A and B are shown apart, each in its own frame.
Chain A
Amino acid sequence: MLDGVTPLTFVLELFFISIAAGVLGSLLGLGGGIIVIPALTLLFHVDIRLAIGASIVSVIATSSGAAAAYVRERITNMRVGMFLEIATTTGAVTGAYIEGLVSAKVLYVVFAVVLGYSALAMFRKRSSKDTEHVVTPVPKDRLADWLSLHDSYYDEAEKREIGYQVTHTPLGLGFMYIAGAVSGLLGIGSGALKVPAMDLAMRLPMKVSTATSNFMIGVTAAASAGVYLFRGDIDPLMAAPVAAGVLMGATGGSRVLPRLHNEAVRGIFVAVLVFISVEMLLKGIA
């Protein structure tokens, strides 16, 4: 399939497919990395390690861009984010280190599982009714008190300041280590794992969880990107178009297009992602 493709056309094709991945990722509320890696490996037959290296760079670009906006809008809980980064960065280093030890087949299988899970988790979240802002009392958490993690944010939709208490900080820390390890292992942001840890376990409001997850993803990705770079897994000719493309697609997509709320369309996308995940699985066990 790659016969006769010059490096220039290859770079351009990667650029356009990465823009598409970024747009799709922002439409679905998933990151671009989780979509660009199957594109690189299944369509372009790129070595999965180089695909992961290119993706992790795109994750830093997208997350830093998005985090800048969220921080300005004061939705991010920076104290929670910075505290949990201890766990996500340690996890990311662990994941990137393991990536160097396991075979490519294992990476395909783990990727398939995480992609399938993320697609379904995203679908389920949408299907359930939005019951936000019902402030329920949370169990007392002395660590959260000690670190003054409780905060409030201004909700655009409700036009008022919403206060919240943080709880189960140690549990959140544990989940974040795992999320960081998955991020480092597969070169993705793994927001699908970070958001539930804050939303369900630590009881942060959904919007705060999403913004704070984005805030942490860049630092988490930086911890594993350093490992990949010096290991020689970040190919400039691939990482450049992928990083620029995903960033442009994601920012452009989030500005121009609203999140998809149409159940039927979302269902189709989820089906496609599950199909891709099966393809990745087959590549892993073949």
Chain B
Amino acid sequence: MQEKAEIRSKYWLAVFLVAAYTIPFAVGIYTENVFFDLQWLADLTTVILNGIMQGGVYAMFAVGLTLIFGVMRIINVAHGELVMLGAYLTWMFFFYVGVDPLLALFITLPIAFVIGLLIQKLLLNAVVGGPELTPLLITFGMGLTIIHIVEAIFTTDYRTIPYAPDAFQLTETIAVSRSKIISFVMAAFISITVFIFLKIHRIGKAIRATAQNADVAMVCGINIFHIYMITSGLAAALAVAGGALVSIQFGFNPETGVLYTLQAFAIIVLGGRGHYIGALIGGVMLAVIESLISFMIPNGTAMVEIASYGMMVFVLLIRPRGLMGPKEN
């Protein structure tokens, strides 16, 4: 019975995803934004490539959120604000110290790791394992506090970092923004490094063991409170790295973190809560659909948020465990 429901939910998810990717094309055809000539196909390829590049960055910061959820069952709604904080840290180092945004990662990531440790130590350790609402409200309050502090310091003005604005011509008609390529390569490098760390390193194994069963991890000698702190530090570092990489592509202000939180949630719901590879796949899938919407639907740029909201809601309804998440008990 359960197996049948599992297979049915898988099929429904497949149907939903096919429909989700078809809708932009259907609307594009209806609104005469789809031409099927060579130039349009080249533009479509460019858009999809840009989406994949963007997805790599989304996936990286979503992995931080999924790690925290997987290890502590905490829904950190301030994750996007840490992404935004990463963008501002990068901006500060770029404009005030003159450090290249990528080189700034060597400074901002350790800072982020310490911020994550402190958040865990001072706010979250006391509520891990308790009712889910408590950490949710704590992180919600923390997110708002970060927004207001950043607003007080930097105002609500949009900031940008001019970095590698030119495009890289793949063919005569297909070009990808250089900053997107750089961001994607960096995100892929960081994601793979974290993946290898989790897979091979002793602490990484302890993180995975704690995620699977914290009680057993404890009787196997793992100090789960240290693991919680390391996980939070790692998640904050991934968020700040994400912030650095989006800051060289898009403008940002203190409110943009909310959108990143939403995107990260949509990604981990799609990929499967607590699942690392699922988050990577979900990130790319979400970014590609966002790109398709903004390319084919009139005024689509303003509608990309619908993709995140819609995907999250429908996947939760159809298959709560997403593509690769563990079975719900």
Please determine whether chains A and B interact with each other in the same assembly.
Answer: no
B residues apposed to A, CB below 8 Å: none
